[in-house]
């Protein structure tokens, strides 16, 4: 029998090792798997590469991982959100690495990893600082930059409902990076607000099929 449900947040993040690349969903406050990130904080893995849109704000989730010096490098598109103080402080002190990636390229690099592709050429970033050192090819008369796939060892994702096979539906714009990150990691861990019985999710409306999901944990809506 397939049952991807786990009983606790600690079980959900068990086995994540030092040095892991962790994909963390969310855009601003929307869709961030806050409780899973806090569980990773308690779990203790360090020297992490974290891939996420923003670099955390305030004292919670990704900002807490950064504050506790658990993140060696962050790969993100917009690390300058309001209240992103811990990232800025460590960045100025040279204590955290930053790989800045245009937002669509960040998402597409993870999609390529999940799709088994060796990368792609994109017009985004051509003729800019972010293309420096990268292969450029003219396609259709326009310069395109080669971008590598970006796989994760782990993805931490927030969804709305799941069944025991790990089929997922999301809520509103909280979906953001979730479906792509779920495909791109060796271990995909999802927190949901509600478990439903197998067969209760409309198969026409499943957003992430369970094949991409390894563990699901229930966290009550805050």
By CB under 8 A, is residue 212 in contact with another protein?
no
| Tokens encoding 67 | 């504050």
By CB under 8 A, is residue 155 in contact with another protein?
no
For Cα atoms 211, 55, 44, give the angle at the middle one, nearest 5 degrees.
65
Smallest distance from another protein to CB 159, Å: 11
Q: Which of 44, 97, 104, 199 binds another protein (CB under 8 A)?
A: 104
Residue whose CB is less far from another protein, 2 or 100: 100
Q: H/E element holding 15?
A: none
> With contact defined as beta carbons under 8 Å apart, do 87 and 79 qualify?
yes
By CB under 8 A, is residue 173 in contact with another protein?
yes
Contacts of 2 (CB under 8 A, 6+ apart): 164, 165, 210
By CB under 8 A, is residue 177 in contact with another protein?
yes
- Piece of 4-12, 44-52, 133-141, 165-173 that binds another protein (CB under 8 A): 165-173
Helix (H, G, I), strand (E, B) or coil at 70: coil
| Tokens encoding 170 | 């999301």
Q: Which of 44, 97, 123, 199 binds another protein (CB under 8 A)?
A: 123
Longest dimension (CA), the chain: 55
Sort residue 72 into left (φ over 0), alpha (ψ -120 to 50) or beta.
alpha
Q: Which of 176, 201, 210, 215 binds another protein (CB under 8 A)?
A: 176
Residue list 3-62, contact with another protein (CB under 8 A): 27-31, 55
Smallest distance from another protein to CB 86, Å: 12
Smallest distance from another protein to CB 79, Å: 5
Virtual CA dihedral for 209, 54, 118, 127, nearest 10 degrees? Answer: 140
Virtual CA dihedral for 193, 198, 204, 209, nearest 10 degrees? Answer: 70
Could you identify the residue written with the tokens 């809520």?
Answer: 171
Smallest distance from another protein to CB 179, Å: 4
By CB under 8 A, is residue 77 in contact with another protein?
yes
Sequence length of the chain is 222
Q: Which of 42, 172, 203, 220 binds another protein (CB under 8 A)?
A: 172
Tell me which residues touch another protein (CB under 8 A).
27-31, 55, 77-82, 87-88, 91-92, 98, 100-105, 107-108, 110-111, 122-130, 170-180, 207
């Amino acid at each position: 029998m397939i049952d991807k449900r786990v009983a606790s947040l600690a079980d959900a993040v068990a086995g994540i090792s030092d040095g892991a690349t962790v994909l963390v969903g969310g855009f601003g406050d929307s869709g961030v798997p806050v409780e899973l990130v806090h569980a990773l904080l308690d779990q203790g893995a360090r020297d992490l590469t974290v891939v996420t849109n923003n670099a955390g704000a305030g004292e919670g989730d990704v900002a807490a991982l950064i504050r506790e010096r658990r993140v060696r490098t962050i790969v993100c598109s917009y690390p300058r959100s309001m209240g992103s103080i811990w990232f800025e402080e460590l960045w100025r002190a040279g204590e955290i690495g930053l790989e800045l990636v245009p937002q669509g390229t960040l998402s597409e690099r993870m999609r390529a990893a999940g799709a088994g592709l060796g990368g792609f050429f994109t017009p985004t970033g051509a003729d800019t600082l972010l293309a420096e050192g990268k292969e450029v090819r003219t396609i259709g008369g326009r310069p395109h930059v080669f971008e590598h796939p970006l796989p994760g060892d782990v993805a931490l994702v927030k969804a709305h409902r799941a069944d025991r096979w790990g089929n997922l539906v999301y809520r509103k714009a909280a979906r953001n990076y979730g479906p792509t990150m779920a495909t791109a990691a060796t271990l995909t861990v999802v927190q949901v607000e509600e478990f439903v019985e197998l067969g209760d999710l409309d198969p026409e409306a499943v957003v992430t099929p369970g094949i991409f999901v390894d563990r699901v944990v229930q966290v009550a809506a805050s």
